[in-house]
Structure formats: structure tokens, C-alpha cells
Chains A and B, each alone.
Chain A
Amino acid sequence: MSSKWTVWASFLLPVLLLGVLLVWFWHSTGGLRFEAPAPIEAVTYERVVLLPASGAVPERIVAHIRNVGPGPVTIAHVQVGWFSRASWDFSIVPSPTIPRLGTAQVIIPYPWTEGEPYEIVLFSSNGIPFVHEVAIATATPQWSARSFGQFAMLGIYVGVLPVFLGILWLPFLRQLGRRAYGFLLSLTIGLLVFIGVDALADALAEAQHLPGPYQGVGVIAIGVALSLLGLYALSRTIEARQQARGGEMSLTIAYLVAFGIGIHNLGEGLAIGGAYALGEVATGALLIIGFMIHNLTEGVAIVAPIVRSEFGTGRWRHLIWLGLLAGLPTILGTSMGAFTPSPLLAVLFISIGAGAVFQVVLEIAAQMRREHGLAFAQPANVSGFLLGLAVMYATGLFITV
């Protein structure tokens, strides 16, 4: 009894002392005297919406901003820059004074015109400017059945169709011999490693846009760990059950690959949808063609684990589920990217995708060794791996957003 009390006391003592210290520090600043020579204010633009004139309501720009500085900030003045800047009328809701980490919407009735570059400058009451650049003005897509249909179709083109086309290679792949199969699995690993590294780079780049308090790199660590370890635990659980039933792991791995690629495609869709919505995609058709070729390889990666497994009648339905699992998230991604872009969610999804892809790489490598007795470190398999990287690189040349 007394020992239990001792345990609790020893846990609570530092917490209590910290509480006392904090209260004292809050009231006295602990003897520290730091004064900033100038006000420290930071405001980020989370989203800038360009709305066309509708009826009697003129064109306007709506800037969604967040105060990421240490204290409250008051927005006092707005300028819109084109070739030169101009002070402009604005209103701001809910309040021109924004608390720390609070948000506001600045509504500027500015007659912007299609295709022009603009610059939005908000001045705080302390005369600190916060600038956002609109590279090419275009109306931000608004939520409607029609526009949703457009972005869903975009997702089908770049995500769903290519994956299914890749899966259609299955009958051909089943003709391959054992050595060729080792080559195919190695190629798949190469494809996936490239996707994973690319996703990490994207996540890091996207994390740079996140305001400091959101700790973008920390979000990446959480995302990668979440999927890498989560899928690891999941596959171990499934494997244990399969072994109990005497089943094989191939189809499970195929589903894991599809899942990982699906989350990756969600992140990819976010980027594509966002780029389209911001009018940053100059060569739309070329981009879509590039993604189609690029994502064709994803279909191959999904079916690679089941090429040599027993495949009785009726099990072909799995191919449909696999394709949907990998492809459908693209639609979700393009729509979210277009209508509700959130840099925080983008970083999270992209890093979850990266972790999932790396987990799948480990899984396929283990499958090669365990079920097929194939060593990775053979000239044929290493060249398959390198070819996988090269294929992704070459097809990726088309899709630099």
C-alpha cells in the first residue's frame, strides 16, 4: 500500500514542482529581461481564393490567413500588387485582430483579371508587411457537381485507369519463368523505392510551406512511422492467421502493396488537384499523359506478388478490389487538393504514403526470399531493381509539376 503511494508521489512530485515553477515564471519572468527591438509578427497565407464577378457582386480575392507569431496581430491595411502595388478596400472576418494561431479571412473586392500575376500585401498595425504571390490569376474552382466531376475524372485518368491497365499485364506475367519472376519482383522493388524517396522529398518540400508551430518535419516522422509500423503490425497479424490456416501470403502482400500505393496516390492527387486549382499547371495534357505512363507501373507492382500463386476461378475479383484500393484514393486526392487544400494534411498523407511504400518494399523482399527462394543480390535481380528506378525516373520526366 505504502509502496503504491510512494510510486504515485515520485511521479507527481516533478509535475507539481514544474507547475510551481511555471506559475512563478509566468508572473515574474524569472529575472529574464528580453525585449524584442521590433515587434515579432508572423502571418501565413493558408489559401488564397480568387472569385469571379457574379451578378452585382464584383470580383474579389479572399485570403485565408493564420497568425503564427508569438502574440496577437492586427491587420490594418491591404495592398494588391500587379505591375505596381495599390492600397485597396478590404474587410476582414471574424476580426482584424487575430489571436495566436487564430485564422481570419481577408476579403478584397479587387477586379483581378485572368492570367495576370498578383501580389497581396497585408500590413499589420505595426507596419509589418506579409506578402503572398499569385503566380497566374485564375478563378479558384468552386464546389459543384460539375467541378467535382471534373476533378474526379482527373483522378480517374491519372490514378485509376493506369493502375488497371498495369494489372492487365497479369496474364503475360504469369508466362514468365522463375528467374524472370525474380527480375520482375526486383523491378517492382525499384519502382517502389523510387516512389518512396520521391514522396519523402515531396513531403519535405511541402513541409517548408507549413508555419513553424506545425513542425512539418515532425509530421513527416509521425506519418512515416504510422504507416511503416502500422502496416508491419497488420501484416504480421495476417501472416500469423494465414500460417494457422496454412494459406499463403502472396495475396495479402498484393493488398498491402495496393494499400500503400493507394495512400501514395492520395498524396499525388492532392498535389495535382492543388496545382490545377492554383492554375500552376501550364501543360495539362502532357502532365496527364506523363502520370498515365508513370502509374501504369504501379499496376505491375500490385500484381507482381501474386503472379506465381495459385489463382483459381473466382479469385479474379480480387484484381478489381486491388485496382480500386490503389486507384480510387487519387480521386479523393485531386478533389481535396482542388477544393480544400490543406498543407498540413498534404504533408501527413504524403508521408503516410512514403512509409507504406517502404513497408511494402520490405514485405516483397521477404516474400522473394521466403516463398520463392530468390536471392536479391544476383546480377539479374539487381539490374531489375536498377531498371525499376530508371523506369520511374524516365516516366517522371513528364510530370514535373
Chain B
Amino acid sequence: MWKGILGLGVLTAVVAVALFRWGGAHAGVRAALEVAQDAEHRFGHHRPPTKGSETYQYAYPARRLPAEAVYDPTPPPPPPRDRRVHEYELVITEDVVHEVAPGVHMPAWAFNGTVPGPVLRGREGDLMRIKLINRGKLPHTIHFHGIHPAEMDGVFELVPPGGEFTYEFVARPYGVFPYHCHSMPTNQHIHNGLYGMMIIDPREDRPPMRELAMVMSAFDLDRDGEADFYAWNGKAFQYADHPIELTVGEKVRMYVMNIFEEPMAPHIHGNMFHLIRSGTSLKPQELTDVLTLGIAERAILEFQYDSPGPYMFQCHLTEHMELGLMGWFQVKPKADRAAQPASHAHPAAGAGN
């Protein structure tokens, strides 16, 4: 009799040990360790994005942003001085699949299919003629910053789905300006992707330089009020995956704009820049290396690198940086430039929008 009950105890022990072994085999630490070590062998040399430009890695290697998906940071060149009318056509669609980080897609609303929209460029005193075509299901507008009549302000007249509207105004003053949809709820319309940069050149061209246009923005994928990704030109880490190539001594003019609802602090490493606030002056006001851009503020930063190597450019709000507002200038020695005439074309050129 008691043997039976003792047997029950032994049986319990056996069953429990078997379960323990089973658990060990399936979810066991040993298996996890082996897998982790195996992965270390394969991916162990990868580093978080802040630890150097050559070996950095922040995403599954097979899922890096492809070169053709990079937003070209080069704005259109200054328009010819005798062209007095600058015409653009902006098409709004609401079904854009935007790759906000490598392999991470979000539904976006976009001007001409990209977030941010294309850089518009005109000259002070010339006529801007911008045709909006609404191919979405909601009414949209374009609201431009700058001086213009009320009826061209893109606030009162909603362009219905399927509709068109042509904005016409004399570009003034010269500077850097945001444009964005102003339909309500405006927060949704802007941060779903309907924004872009407009550059108005002065009558006399600024000194020619290598030019970059950089829109700083962010994306809240799960709508919890906190951005999940921050980006230069709409895609987190795209210029970390594909550094922008510069040359020692090459003069650079970077147009920057903050279109998100948090301050942004563009900062370039190993260098100082001449700051022209809002782009509304010909002469720089300040030599610095970090600038706080308030909401919708913008500026021109002019600089050149004296020695070759990788230099980070980032938002100095560290969370913004670590969630995507970070990239690299790969500065090459001058000799390379002489040897390769085509070196001016950086990897992102001709790609993106």
C-alpha cells in the first residue's frame, strides 16, 4: 500500500524532472547562449551608430536602407537670373508607403511621393507659380511662409479631393521657408508628411558652394504622442547608412529647417559654421557649431572641412540623434578630388526623389 504512495511521489519527481529537462531543452539558457555566441561570431564587429562611421551598424545587416531609397540632399541649383517665373507642380497623395527607417514602413501623405516634399527654389522679386493637384481623399492646401497676399496663404481655400489650385505670389524676401499643408487637423496633415523646404535666392547669387538641403522632422508611428523616429530628410539614419561625401576645403552651404513640434539643435562635428538665421541675410551673424532651431525655424550654415575623415552631423538633442537624426560627412582628401573628377557626385546623388 505505502509503496504505492511512495511510488506516486517518485513518479511526481520523475515527471517534474522530465518537465524541467524539457523546459531546459526548449527555452533553456544554454540554447540561448549558444545562439547568442553564434550571433556574436557573425555580427560581433557591429557597433551602435555612434561608435564610428566605418564599422557602425544599427540594424539587421540585410535590412539597411538601399542607396536608391536615400533622399537626395542636393537642392535644385539657383535658378537662372533671367527666368522671372518659377513654376512647380505638387501632387498630394495619401497612400505613400514611406520607409521611415530601414525596413520599417509607415503610411504617409506626401507631396510628389516623398517625405519631405521636393525643395522649391525661386528668386526674390520673381513670380512663384505652384500648382497643387489633390489626388487624395481629403481636402488639402499648401501654406507657404513668407510675404504674400491673404488669398495665397493656403489657409482659407481648401482644395477638394480631385481638385487643383495654383498659388501665385511674388517671392519675397529672400531666405529659407517651410511650406506645408494647412488643412485641419493641421497636426495630422503636417506630420503625416505634407511638408517641404522653399529656398528664395537673393537677386545677386550667394557665392557658389556645394549645397545641401536638410529638413529635420519626426514620426510618431503608434500615435502615442511621442515620436518613434527622427530624421534628416524623412528617413532615420539614411546619411549614416550612406554618408555624404565632401572634400577637404570644399565650401558647403547647408540649408536646415525644423518642421517638428520640438526644438531641434543641428550640430556638426569637428568644425564651426557661419550662421545665417532664416537665410534672410547675406552676411553671417555668428560663428558657432550648434544652433537651436525653434518650431518651423530655419537657417543657412556655411562651413568647410580642413582635414579628411568621418564627421558626424546630428541633432544635439541626444534622443533625436539616437532615434535617427544623425548622419556622417565622409570628408576625402583633396588628392582624391583631383584624381576623380566625378567625386563631386556623392553616393546619394541622383537617388531618392
Contacts and interface: CB of A to CB of B under 8 A. Distances in A.
Given A96-B63, A259-B8, A332 B20 contact: yes
Interface of A: 46-47, 49, 51, 57, 60, 62, 64, 74-79, 84-93, 96, 105, 107, 109-110, 121, 123-129, 140, 142-143, 234, 238, 241-242, 245, 247, 251-252, 255, 259, 262-263, 266, 318, 321, 324-325, 328-329, 332, 335-336, 339-342, 345
Contacts of B30: 143
Interface residues of B, number: 59
A335 B105 CA distance: 42
B339 interface: no
A107 B36 contact: yes
Contacts of B4: 238
Contact of A109 (B27, B46, B60): B46
Contacts of A262: 12
A287 B336 CA distance: 69
A89 B30 CA distance: 23
A87 B5 contact: no
B237 interface: yes
Contacts of B27: 46-47, 64, 340-342
A247 to B, nearest CB: 7
B326 to A, nearest CB: 9
A64 B58 contact: no
B13 interface: yes
Nearest to B17: A332
Interface of B: 1-2, 4-6, 8-9, 12-13, 16-17, 19-20, 23-24, 27-30, 32-33, 35-40, 42-44, 46-49, 57-63, 100-106, 221-222, 228-229, 236-237, 318-319, 322-324
A238 B57 CA distance: 66
Given A142-B29, A342-B23, A91 B42 contact: yes
Contact of A125 (B6, B12, B35, B103): B103
Q: Which 9 A-B pairs have the closest CB atoms?
A: A76-B103, A86-B322, A84-B319, A340-B23, A127-B221, A127-B106, A91-B43, A91-B39, A255-B5
Contacts of B20: 332, 335-336, 340
A60 B221 CA distance: 27
Contacts of B103: 74, 76-77, 125
A84 B320 CA distance: 9
A88 B48 contact: yes
A238 B16 CA distance: 23
Contact of A87 (B12, B16, B322): B322
9 contacts: A57-B37, A77-B104, A90-B59, A91-B39, A107-B39, A129-B221, A247-B1, A255-B8, A332-B20
Contacts of B36: 51, 60, 62, 105, 107
Interface centre among A89, A92, A251, A335 (most CB of B within 10 A): A89
Interface centre among A47, A251, A332 (most CB of B within 10 A): A332
A92 B319 CA distance: 24
A339 B39 contact: no
A129 B101 CA distance: 13
A128 to B, nearest CB: 7
A88 B103 CA distance: 14
Interface centre among A85, A140, A241, A341 (most CB of B within 10 A): A85
